[in-house]
Structure 1
Amino acid sequence: MTALPDWMRPPREEGWYSEDLDMLVEAPRHTELIDGALVFNMSPQRRWHSRLVTALTNALTAQAPDGFEVDRELTVVLDRRNRPEPDVLVSTERIPDQASYYEAASVVLVVEVVSPESEHRDRMVKPQKYAEAGIGHYWRIENEDGAPAIHVYERDELTNGYVATGIYRDRLDVPVPFPVKIDLAALLR
């Protein structure tokens, strides 16, 4: 077993902080911070996932009214020890082009496209953290025999968690965070 490179050692006993991510130039692309620990998404990107993220980003961008920014694969600072990277996000704030993250307070929707290596994080860990950070909407996209199924959730203020508002397989039609209508079958054509 080879020794860990120095850059992989946490700078403090309680682990990494969100601001540390920008200084880890040696870290692989798509490195996230969950509970002060670095999470490396090193599995090869699958074509289905990549095409879906691109198509969804484009569809949301085309429908987003003024005052909403759609981005992909940028991190969100939830708190000092959590900075995950959703596949797609919608924010009410425009960040500078050189920025690498959004603050949770401006994010109104996060979308995770589930992959075999991210199932637990996308289904269990991240939704809880996103809701606790106050992000109003969470979409989880599952691959059902090559077709996207979008599980839509809205944050409940009382429980500080997400409640399911629908599962969409053929057509997504939701009024929040802004009106969105997408032919899901057309996303991967």
Structure 2
Amino acid sequence: MSLSVRGVVSVSAEPVAEWQWPPTDGYTADDLDRIPGLPAHTELIDGIIAVMSPQKHFHMKCLRVLEGALDRAAPWDRFRVSREMSIVLGPRQRPEPDLIVIHADAEVDAQATWYPASAVVLAVEVVSPESEIRDRERKPQLYAEAGIPHFWRVEDAGDHAVLYVHERDPATKRYVPVGIYHDRATLKQPFAVEIDLSEVHRR
């Protein structure tokens, strides 16, 4: 609505969606399936709703390369590769990794919108400028605390992609770095897979 005072017209304010006013103690993981008008690809971190920005070209190409490599290499009697699904890590934690690898026997029904943390073997984040703190710090911390064994982070280095590979230390419940890859990654965990990172900038 615009208001006019003595010939001066104010700028119309955009209406604020109800979900933008969180309850005092924050949202819960269950709330994400009940809140009307919530944008797609919304995640919950520490009870706060985070809306993901539209994917940039690097992000899209990187996901295509990683998903293709994982999907081809995954032993389908043991694992599945999934994207655009959130993970419930706790009552106030429901992030949505860019890619996940889950146990094959953990697949849920067609109406499910999330996986439990126990189903996830690998979480992958392709870092975006607007979410770099979440992708580099808070989300891997949450994944490790929830018991997810493997975490990969991918960064845009300008002319190539860089893959940072981490494994969870059960004693500290934290990830430790086990490799940095700039061109071709040959990995044995969570299963044998080769990833040609140069494809990201060739496509």
Q: Do Structure 1 and Structure 2 share a fold, with TM-score over 0.5?
A: yes
Which has the greater radius of gyration? 2
TM-score normalised by length of structure 1: 0.93
Contact conserved, 2:65 with 2:199, CA < 8 A, in 1?
Answer: no
Structure 1 ranges of 4+ moved more than 6 A: none
Q: Residue 126 of structure 2 corresponds to which residue in structure 1?
A: 113
**1:32 corresponds to 2:43:** yes
CA distance, structure 1, for counterparts of residue 36 and residue 71 of structure 2: 30
* Structure 1 residues 111-170: Cα deviation after superposition (integer angstroms, max 9, x where no partner): 000010111011111110000000000000001113111000000011110000000111
RMSD (Å), alpha carbons = 1.5
Label 1:146 to 1:102 Cα distance change in 2 as closer, same or farther (>3 A).
farther
**1:14 corresponds to 2:16:** no
**1:78 corresponds to 2:78:** no
Where in structure 2 are there 5+ consecutive unaligned residues? 1-12
Q: Please give the residue correspondences for 1:28-107 in structure 2 after superposition, counting only pairs within 5 Å.
A: 28-41=39-52, 43-65=53-75, 66-92=77-103, 93-107=106-120
1:132 to 145, 162, 165: 145
Q: Name the SS of the counterpart of 1:153 in structure 2.
A: strand
Contact conserved, 1:151 with 1:164, CA < 8 A, in 2?
Answer: yes
- Larger mean CA deviation between 164-173 and 91-100 belongs to 91-100
Q: Name the SS of the counterpart of 1:73 in structure 2.
A: coil
TM-score normalised by length of structure 2: 0.87
CA distance, structure 1, for counterparts of residue 110 and residue 61 of structure 2: 23
Give the total of aligned pairs: 187
Where in structure 1 are there 5+ consecutive unaligned residues? none
* Structure 1 residues 46-69: Cα deviation after superposition (integer angstroms, max 9, x where no partner): 111012112211211111002201
